[in-house]
Amino acid sequence: MFDGQFVLTQLMNFLPRREFNACVDKYRGDRRSRGFSCRDQLLCLGFAQLTYRESLRDVETCLRALEPKLYHAGFRGKVSRSTLADANRVHDWRIYADFAQVLIRRARKLYAQEPLAVDLAQTVYALDSTTIDLCLSLFPWAKFRRRKGAVKLHTLLDLRGNIPCFVHVSHGKMHDVNVLDQLLIEPGAFYVMDRGYLDFKRLHRFTRGSSFFVTRGKRNLDCTRRARRPVDKTTGLRSDQTIVLAGPKSSRLYPDPLRRIVFYDVEQQRRLVFLTNNFTLPALTIARLYKCRWQVELFFKWIKQHLRIKAFYGTSDNAVKTQVWIAISVYVLVAIVKKELRTERSLYDILQILSLTLFEKIPLIEALNDQNRPNSETPDPNQLTLFDL
């Protein structure tokens, strides 16, 4: 009989304790802890994410019902709704943002060899944002429209493993294109974006940084054709051209040549125009690369369905960002566990199992075992079966 650690404790062992303490010390997170440390807050909100708790009262009620087990699960502070609310307001959200980056770097190493939908050796990123609606009377700092509040989640997704490697939480009014100023350009990487990020001054920064972008072109693009390449129209391609921008402002902001590819999507029955600064990949590969951008949309849909980032436990700016970053840390942690334990279960299955077994004393690998075992009780050879003929 296994009489070891709780599943929650085994799960938290995947979190590097030294790096977390370094993040806490950097922002002096435990300076005003009042007996409730940043690690206690991480455990409480991690528990809330894994078990789908709806409010701080919900978290308090569930954890107090398990009070005899909390010390052995790693909790040191007294769990109460007011203490959690104070921690969400006081503990700097940058602690959890920096710690999430530690987990992201670890996860990206584990998923570095994951295959892509296209045969490509370089790193491919998908950039997009999603809006999270808020009640303006509860979140007055997040004013979006006259009677509506919102925050935006800008995310750069590494398509090898679907790991979010850059996340920025902003006001709902921030335009998507402004987040390009905050990206660290990785030489040789591909950045796939929709046409909301079409800003030639900012896109030229990718070219100067020796990286590549793939985005949608607008219909009224003022350009001059320099060259064209033959295409196989049975694949959906319509044209593959080298162009230069002809507008007085756009040609100054982006003076280098661009590649313009026209593709007809038979399924959606629409004509798509792609712009890229890569001239070596086949045109059909560029079109398929843009199709991979849909993975970031699926990522947003997944985390909104399976993590708690649509309803918040606190109303301050710090509380919202803390909850978002802990949710991302939980997502990356589950991805790390999946890879480290080499389980074939999906992230959804792992989350569902963890939600029911966090305070069970069973090996984590056994809880996630995907084998359909037959009944362990072997029938007595002297026992007749009911329908034995």
Is residue 186 a part of any domain in this protein?
Answer: no
- 28 plus 86 within the same structural domain: yes
Is residue 13 a part of any domain in this protein?
Answer: yes
Asked if 276 contacts 213 with a C-beta cutoff of 8 angstroms, the reply is yes
Tell me the one-letter amino acid at 144. Answer: F
Closest CA to 325 of 92, 15, 55, 19: 92
Is residue 112 a part of any domain in this protein?
Answer: no
Per residue of the chain (389 residues), what is the pLDDT tens digit? Answer: 455 899 999 999 999 999 999 999 999 888 876 788 999 999 999 999 999 999 999 999 999 999 999 999 889 988 999 999 999 999 999 999 999 999 999 999 999 988 888 888 899 999 999 999 999 999 999 999 888 999 999 999 999 999 999 999 998 999 999 999 999 999 999 999 999 999 999 999 999 999 999 999 988 889 999 999 999 999 999 999 999 999 999 999 999 999 999 999 988 889 999 999 999 999 999 999 999 999 999 999 999 999 999 889 999 999 999 999 999 999 999 999 999 999 999 999 999 999 999 999 999 999 998 655 444 444 555 554 444 44
Is residue 215 a part of any domain in this protein?
Answer: yes
User: pTM for the complete prediction?
Assistant: 0.88
What gap in Å lies between CA 191 and CA 184, rounded to an integer? 12
- 11 plus 90 within the same structural domain: yes
Is residue 64 a part of any domain in this protein?
Answer: yes
- 264 plus 319 within the same structural domain: no
What gap in Å lies between CA 25 and CA 29, rounded to an integer? 6
Domain residue limits at 73: 7-96+315-366
Is residue 171 a part of any domain in this protein?
Answer: no
Domain count, the chain: 2
- 200 plus 274 within the same structural domain: yes
- 85 plus 40 within the same structural domain: yes
Is residue 183 a part of any domain in this protein?
Answer: no
Is residue 264 a part of any domain in this protein?
Answer: yes
> What is the CATH number for 250?
3.30.1370
